[in-house]
Amino acid sequence: MLRHLRTLLVTPLRAHRGRPAALLALLAACTALALIEYTPLTLLQNALFDRMQRLSPRDRSEMPALIVAIDEKSLAALGQWPWPRQTLARLVETIGTGDPLAIGLDMIFPEPDRLGSASLKRLYPQLGRIPLADPDARLAAALAATPSVLGISANKTLLHGNRSALKVTPVISRGGDAGAIANPFAGALASLPALEAAARGQALLNAQEDPALQDPERGVLRRVPLMASVAGLPVAALGPEMLRVALDAPAVEADIRNGRITRVGVDAYRLPTQADGKLILHFGPLRADRIFSAVDVLEGRIPPENFQHRFVLLGFTATGLQDRVVTPLGEMIPGVDVHAQVLESLLSGAALTRPLWLRLAEGALLITLGLGLIAAVPRLPPNFAVKLGLASAILLFLTGYAAFHLGRLLFDSASLVTLLNPVFFILIGNTLVASDQQRRLAEQALQASREAAARVAGELDAARRIQMGLLPDPAQLFAGETRFQVAAYLEAAREVGGDYFDCFMLAPGYLCLCIGDVSGKGLPASLFMAMSKSVASALLRNHPDDLAQALEEVDAALSRDNREMLFVTSFIAVVNVETGMMDYVCAGHDAPWLLRGQTIQRIRVDQIGGPPLCACEGFPYRHAQLTLEPGDRLLLTTDGVTEASNGQAWFGNERLERLLQENTQGDTAAALVEKVKDAVRNFEAGAPPADDLTLLCLEWRGPEARLPSPQTSTST
């Protein structure tokens, strides 16, 4: 059951090297990218963009906007907030004497001053008709005398005290109706009509909606409205409105294209925005050098000249007054500084953008890379595919950082990499599974071939033992023999070989010596060698007195069933061990060496030599005779001696002749064989032998060296 379930789950993943499954994952990735606002990917996206801002925050060395702060020091000196309106009026007037470009009040005065004439006369009716100085009128006068901008706080619902009728300079829309597109609010909390009327401008203060409602933002302020729609009326935010007042322009303007707000600003000072009129603010760090304490300004410690040709924002920095926001840089800054930063951005034209085309490009890149991976990964070796995947991820991140640094564009590489991951892992997983299977198959094949090799080696070893067992041991065979000594040596180039030798008493007093070399080497030659040796030894015994006849019969017998057309060179001698008379035949074999005293000679075969056995069927072989002298040594070799190689040269007949001439005087047959073998092996210097090597040596001591044994004496 469980296995069935597993098969059901795994089979579609494994089909066609995982390509269909990967394609499905790519389709899901495209959907997720299109609807990214509704996925947790926005968290990742925000984290990436915040990281970029931290790596390169906006430069704030220019100081176009200053802040006069209602800070702890001012509250300590002048008493609790709200201050009497006269105090505020004096503050505004003091700033005004410095001739600032505009004064923005990041505060709202919806209720009359508690020390105004109406409330005082309610408390003290005895004041009667005595004219009292009205603090609200006093503030209104100050606002009227300066380039002042008051704030309003917009709300989604019409709360108590909120109004939908406001005295604002509406934003002018170009290419559409900004009031219908911008973030909509039902109404706003605004200041007393008298103050509204006195101020040069009135603007939106909301930098942030309720953080709890903006879950993906996690309470971090990233987007700041440059405008919004309050009761259908397009209203500018404090920054653009102050700029309008400073430039004495008729209105803040909004560019609209295809139903999306694209830019908001005044004259040439415009910033690209999101579709709803929000600016993605490129934050800079909070700078204390542009914040002045209100009490210092009031009491003349800060000369008003400081404010000349600057924007001045009046706002709260005191912790108790709760106007603080968290920026992507991770700082908690007073809300009034956000307005200052908007103003700075407007003047310098600095803004982060994430235009529609960039999102479309991300989609296109996702599809291209996804299809590319699907096409490439199953064809590549896994380690290369992993490197390719890693390289494309790194390339995407580098593109993101480059876009930010060069164009202030927010390219979402994090989401792309995240969405490509499932595609990549489905493909690479399949590749790894496939290569693992191949590896296992290869291991099995290797194991099988090792076993086969071991089996063959075992069989070859057995064949070798059988082949060596076919060869006589002259020392054992002729133990106690005094008339002659026979010694032999045979070593195959491989486990088995095609050389052979034989020695046996053909008849009493007649010693037969054979040496043979089957064409080729190794196993095929060894089979023919075994047959040649048995056929030769059997037929020689049939014709003990006619060597040529015997050889012709051997030739005929071997040729009979020789479809593979192997042939064998052979030299056969029959020696009368009493007289030294030697009868011999040669079938294509190298002439043996005769060592007689100081002289070295080859046995003459030129008159009687025939082709190798089986090479020329029916060849009339002839035999020859020579007489050995006591002490003669006869050495029969195969081409394993002359063709032994040290990599540069062959051992050769000359080298062999010199060796026999100089080093073997008086040696017995056994010593001679040992010496020649050692010389050949030393010459080869450890290199593997090229051919089978066989040496057969007869030392004839002559008739004087009679056997002491009576049995053999009678036979001679």
Q: Most distant CA pair in the chain: distance in Å?
A: 179
Question: Is 136 a binder of another protein (CB under 8 A)?
Answer: no
Within 10 A of 17 (CB to CB), how many other CB atoms are there? Answer: 18
What separation in angstroms does the CA of 274 have from each of 127, 214, 252, 352?
A: 56, 16, 17, 10
CA gap 642, 589 in Å, rounded? 13
Which residues from 619-648 bind another protein, rule CB under 8 A?
619, 639, 643
Pick 559 or 712: Cβ nearer another protein: 559
Residues pairing with 234 in the sheet: 229
User: Which of these segments, 12-20, 381-389, 471-479, 519-527, binds another protein (CB under 8 A)?
Assistant: 519-527
CB of residue 593 vs another protein: minimum separation in angstroms? 14
In whole angstroms, how close is the CB of 647 to another protein at the nearest point? 14
Between CA 609 and CA 587 the distance in angstroms is: 6
Stretch touching another protein by CB under 8 A, among 123-131, 209-217, 452-460, 512-520: 512-520
Of the candidates 50, 196, 412, 590, which one interacts with another protein according to CB under 8 A?
590
Least Å distance, CB 578 to another protein, is 32
Binding mask 388-427 for another protein (x = CB under 8 A): ----------------------------------------
Query: What CA–CA distances, in Å, run from 206 to 58, 153, 166, 351?
Result: 22, 6, 16, 19
Q: How far is the CB of 588 from another protein (least distance, A)?
A: 4
CA–CA separation, 88 vs 152, rounded Å?
18
* CB nearer another protein, residue 184 or residue 524: 524
Q: Give the 3-state secondary structure of 539-569.
A: HHHHCCCCHHHHHHHHHHHHHHCCCCCCCEE
Find out whether the peptide bond into 84 is cis, omega within 30 degrees of 0.
no
Which CB atom, from 311 or from 567, has the smaller least distance to another protein? 567
Q: Is 332 helix (H, G, I), strand (E, B) or coil?
A: strand
Given candidates 82, 176, 472, 609, which one binds another protein under the rule CB under 8 A? 609
| Chosen residue from 566, 572, 573, 695 binding another protein by CB under 8 A | 566
* Least distance to another protein, CB of residue 625, Å: 20
Considering only residues 247, 616, 670, 707, which one is a binding residue for another protein as defined by CB under 8 A? 616
Q: Is 349 left (phi over 0), alpha (psi -120 to 50) or beta?
A: left
Q: Is-contact 315 67, C-beta < 8 A? A: yes
Of 411 and 567, the one with the shorter C-beta distance to another protein is 567
* Phi/psi at 489 (5° precision): -145, 135
Shortest Cβ 583–another protein spacing (Å) = 19
CB nearer to another protein: give 336 or 525.
Answer: 525
Interface segment toward another protein; rule CB under 8 A; list 279-287, 302-310, 442-450, 515-523: 515-523
Q: Which is nearer to another protein, 234 or 612 (CB)?
A: 612
Cα 490 to Cα 512: distance, rounded to the nearest angstrom = 18
- Of 612, 651, 667, 695, the one binding another protein (CB under 8 A) is 612
Rank residues 355 and 611 by Cβ distance to another protein and give the closer one: 611
- CA distance to 221, 228, 326, 715, per residue, from 185 (Å): 19, 7, 24, 140
Residue among 639 and 667 whose Cβ is closer to another protein: 639
Output the smallest distance, CB 555 to another protein, in A. 13
Q: How far is the CB of 610 from another protein (least distance, A)?
A: 6
Shortest Cβ 512–another protein spacing (Å): 22
Contact 580, 591 (CB under 8 A): no
Yes or no: say if 221 and 49 are a contact pair by the CB < 8 Å rule. no
Q: Residue 532 or residue 569: which is nearer to another protein going by CB?
A: 569
| Shortest distance in whole angstroms from residue 608 CB to another protein | 10
Distance CA 194, CA 117 (A): 15
Distance, CA of 229 to CA of 214 (rounded, Å): 19
**Which of these segments, 326-334, 511-519, 681-689, 693-701, binds another protein (CB under 8 A)?**
511-519
Q: Nearer Cβ to another protein, position 179 or 640?
A: 640
> Using the rule CB under 8 A, which residue among 26, 243, 591, 600 binds another protein?
591
How far apart are CB 605 and another protein at their closest, in Å?
9
The residue within the footprint of another protein, chosen from 85, 521, 633, 701 (CB under 8 A), is: 521
In 3-state terms, what secondary structure has residue 674?
A: helix
Q: Which is nearer to another protein, 518 or 679 (CB)?
A: 518
- Which of 283, 404, 567, 651 is close enough to bind another protein by CB under 8 A? 567
**Residue 563: which residues within 8 A CB-CB, separation 6 or more?**
none
611 near another protein, rule: CB under 8 A: yes
Burial of 510 (0-12, 13-18, 19+ CB in 10 A): middle
Least gap, CB of 377 to another protein (angstroms) = 43
In angstroms, give the least distance from the CB of 564 to another protein: 9
Angstrom CA distances, 684 to 371, 645, 678, 680, 690, stand at 63, 6, 10, 6, 9
| Min dist. Cβ of residue 673 to another protein (A) | 22
Rank residues 82 and 609 by Cβ distance to another protein and give the closer one: 609
Binding of another protein by 501 (CB under 8 A) = no
Parallel, antiparallel or unpaired: strands 148-155 and 102-105: parallel
- Contacts of residue 20, Cβ cutoff 8 Å, sequence gap at least 6: 12
Residue closer to another protein (CB basis): 283 or 528 = 528
With CB under 8 A as the contact rule, which of the stretches 160-168, 295-303, 539-547, 583-591 interacts with another protein?
A: 583-591
Query: Taking contact as CB under 8 A, which single stretch among the options 465-473, 475-483, 516-524, 542-550 is the one that binds another protein?
Result: 516-524
**What DSSP letter does each residue of 431-488 carry, written as one string?**
HHHHHHHHHHHHHHHHHHHHHHHHHHHHHHHHHHHHHHHHS--HHHHTTT--SEEEEE
Binding-site size for another protein (CB under 8 A) equals 24
| Cα-based torsion angle of the residue sequence 546, 552, 557, 561 in order, rounded to the nearest 10 degrees | 170
C-alpha span between 648 and 612 (Å, rounded): 29
- Per CB under 8 A, 519 contacts another protein: yes
- Closer of 566 and 572 to another protein (Cβ): 566
Min separation Cβ 2 and another protein, Å? 57
If one asks whether residue 691 binds another protein (CB under 8 A), the answer comes out as: yes
H-helix segments, 603-643: 639-642
- Give the tokens for residue 192: 């007393």
Binding-site member from 2, 5, 565, 685 for another protein (CB under 8 A): 565
The reply to whether 569 sits near another protein by the rule CB under 8 A is yes
Q: How far is the CB of 549 from another protein (least distance, A)?
A: 19
| 517 contributes a contact to another protein by CB under 8 A | yes
- What are φ and ψ of residue 286, in 5° steps? -65, 135
Question: In whole angstroms, how far apart are CA 626 and each of 203, 213, 366?
Answer: 137, 124, 98
Cα–Cα distance, 696 to 478 (Å, whole number): 14
Cβ closer to another protein: 517 or 699? 517
Residue 610 touches another protein, criterion: CB under 8 A: yes
Interface map 303-342 toward another protein (x if CB under 8 A):
----------------------------------------
Contact in structure between 576 and 509 (CB atoms under 8 Å): yes
Report if residue 588 touches another protein, rule: CB under 8 A. yes
Which positions lie near another protein, rule CB under 8 A?
517-521, 565-567, 569, 587-591, 609-612, 615-616, 619, 639, 643, 691
